[in-house]
Amino acid sequence: MALEDTVRTAPGYVRTLIQQEELPLLRDHLLRLDSESRHDRFNGFLDDSFIERYAARCAEDGTIIVAYIVDGVVRGAAELHPPEDDSLPEVAFSVEASARRQNVGTVLFSRLIAEARWKGFKRLRITTGADNHAMRALAKKFGAHLVFQHGESTGTIDLAKTPEAELADLAAAPFNAGRAMISFNSTCWKLISSMYGNRAA
């Protein structure tokens, strides 16, 4: 079970999805992303079939999905991917153009960190594209220490060093970003490898 509280943020609200029952909500949100946002989120993988398989994988592997919902439609999502082997749990974000400049990214981030703490995680991994300045700035607000290498910025968030009061202040602050999309992360690379890695064989 995940946290059950619903956070209101005009004109919609934020809550954790029930993965199996509400899988179509995440899938449809990702499919609605415009080409630039989809490129940023999945590092160039734009076809619908990949996104459908990605959403299905999220429902099967225990990924926690926090969604921003307007009139029953998911317009933004934050994903908390479980750790694999010795890796850290990893976070990813996507916000549709119609929901930007409304503090959505900050609220999603705050709620996702609350979920991670509830699960007992101490640190999170975040990966974002080099040109995604809005997402990099948002990550830094929550204590991420990003390092640029190989065309992307990667870093970690130490949950023990982020006070609850500070998170509450950040969630209430305006988020003025033109692009609130996190780029492709290592979780996606693993999924792509399983989908396409043996195509040439």
Higher pLDDT, 175 or 167: 167
pLDDT value for 179: 32
Would you say residue 25 lies in a domain? Answer: yes
pTM (2 d.p.): 0.72
Q: Which residue has the tokens 């979920």?
A: 115
For 186-195, how does the pLDDT look when each residue is reduced to its tens digit (9 = 90+)? 555 555 555 5
The number of helices, as runs of H, and strands, as runs of E, in the chain is 7, 8
Average the pLDDT over each of 14-23, 54-63, 145-154 and give the range with the smallest value.
145-154
The total number of structural domains in the chain stands at 1
Question: pLDDT exceeding 90 applies to what percent of the chain?
Answer: 23
> Which whole number is the average pLDDT over 56-82?
92
Please say whether the beta carbons of 142 and 113 come within 8 A. Answer: yes
Summarize the chain as % helix, strand, coil (round to 5). Answer: 40, 25, 35
Give the CATH number for residue 96.
3.40.630.30
How are beta strands 123-129 and 90-95 bridged, if at all? Answer: parallel
Structural domain range at position 99: 7-192
Cβ burial of 6 (10 Å; 0-12, 13-18, 19+) is exposed
CA distances from 200 to 184, 193, 195 (A): 23, 12, 12
Whether residue 199 lies inside any domain: the answer is no
Contact 114, 107 (CB under 8 A): no
Note whether residue 1 is domain-resident. no
Lowest-confidence segment of 18-32, 36-50, 64-78, 92-106 by average pLDDT: 36-50
* Residue 2 resides in a domain: no
pLDDT at 173 (0 to 100): 43
Per residue in 102-161, pLDDT tens? 888 888 988 988 899 898 998 888 876 666 666 667 777 777 666 666 666 677 888 876
Residue 97 pLDDT: 87
How many residues in total does the chain contain?
201
At residue 79, the pLDDT reads: 92
> Is residue 23 a part of any domain in this protein?
yes
> Is 50 domain-assigned?
yes
Give the separation between CA 121 and CA 2, rounded to whole angstroms.
13
Would 38 be classed as within a structural domain? yes
Residue 144 lies in a domain: yes
